[in-house]
Amino acid sequence: MAVVKADGYGHGMMPAARAALAGGATWLGVADMSEGLALRRAGITAPVLCLMAVGEPADAIAGGIDLTAGSAAFAAAVAAVAQRAGVPARLQLKADTGLGRGGATRADWPALVDAALAAQARGLVRVTGLWSHFACADMPGHPSVAAQLAAFADAVALAEKAGVTPEIRHIANTAAGLTVPESRLDLVRFGGAVYGLSTLPGGAPGWLRPAMTLRARLALVKRVPPGSGVSYGHRYVTARETRLGLVPLGYADGVPRAATGLPLVSARGRRWPVAGTVCMDQFVVDFGDEPVSEGEEVVLFGPGDDGEATAQEWGEALATISYDIATGIGGRVARVYR
């Protein structure tokens, strides 16, 4: 499964979905139903699993999207909607094996299985999958990984004994798919890996190439004297006469305001610090005596081939993860696909 939620992790959902299917993915994963419906409207007919119980089930059922139930109440609600619609719903049951987020706890699982099987017996739903999600798959060796795998095996055994015949059983995301082979089961829900990213320490293995490069062209270049305050609050003041370049990307485009001062911008084969406060639409770089010119390209992050920062490095520098950086890149930034 290629997970294409959150606009394909910021890369663009439709191009990501099409590329993943062309590359051999057999399922697509989305967070809410509206994302799944957007895939259907675009003509994508591949199986789609909606990972959260958020949206309008009637439309999703009509669109043949697999819904996820984490409670008996939601399974019953889906059955009621399917009855009104006259179309059986495809339903996957989610077990909370230790993440403590969505899904039915061990105590609530039998009731969920019973509700789903009752609806299936009435022809209102087809239980197509059983799944769960890890809490600490990106912490290699964390004891909760084995514990969750065992708890999921128990949940699957209980459901199958009760009569569920799932098409797929799945628990692994990128980190587990890459590092815990026994977690791969029938399908791996690869999100970050599809885009060359991972939440594992140090990021994705080298053979996974980050897909996204964020570039901009300097909108203005100017010489300024020593002692010039730069950007809001004058948090940066030039030490000597220098050349400033204006990068037309700001926090509204996903350049975190906390990047102020960090050496994350690449131009002319080296790194340059963000000079002063990152604004909504722009920020400034101090290029010293480097004769950069207006219209010249700078790179904020990319695959790292030419020493430019990666989304992984941005995440590490800003106390977050690469996914947070990539998904944050705003809609104003034109996506170009190669």
Q: Which residues bind ligand PLP (CB under 6 A)?
A: 3, 5, 51, 133, 173-175, 189-193, 199
Q: How far is the CB of 92 from ligand PLP (least distance, A)?
A: 11
Alpha-carbon distances, residue 207 vs 17, 130, 228, 275 (angstroms): 21, 31, 45, 34
Closest CB 193 distance from ligand PLP, rounded Å: 6
**DSSP secondary structure letters along 268-292:** TTEEE-EES---SS-EEEE-TT---
Q: Give the residue at shortest CB distance from ligand PLP.
A: 191
Q: Which residue, 179 or 228, is less far from ligand PLP as judged by CB?
A: 179
d(Cα 181, Cα 39) in Å, to the nearest integer?
30
Beta bridge partner(s), residue 327 = none
d(CA 179, CA 140): 8
Active-site residue numbers?
Answer: 5, 232
Write down the least CB distance from residue 250 to ligand PLP, Å.
26
Closest CA to 281 of 322, 232, 327: 232
3 versus 16: smaller Cβ distance to ligand PLP:
3
Q: In what order do the strands lie in the sheet with 2-3?
A: 2-3, 28-30, 48-50
State the DSSP string of 120-162. Answer: HHTTSEEEEEEE---SSTTSTT-HHHHHHHHHHHHHHHHHHHH
Instruction: Using the minimum distance from each CB to ligand PLP, give the nearer residue, 191 or 276.
Output: 191
Closest separation in Å from C-beta 33 to ligand PLP: 14
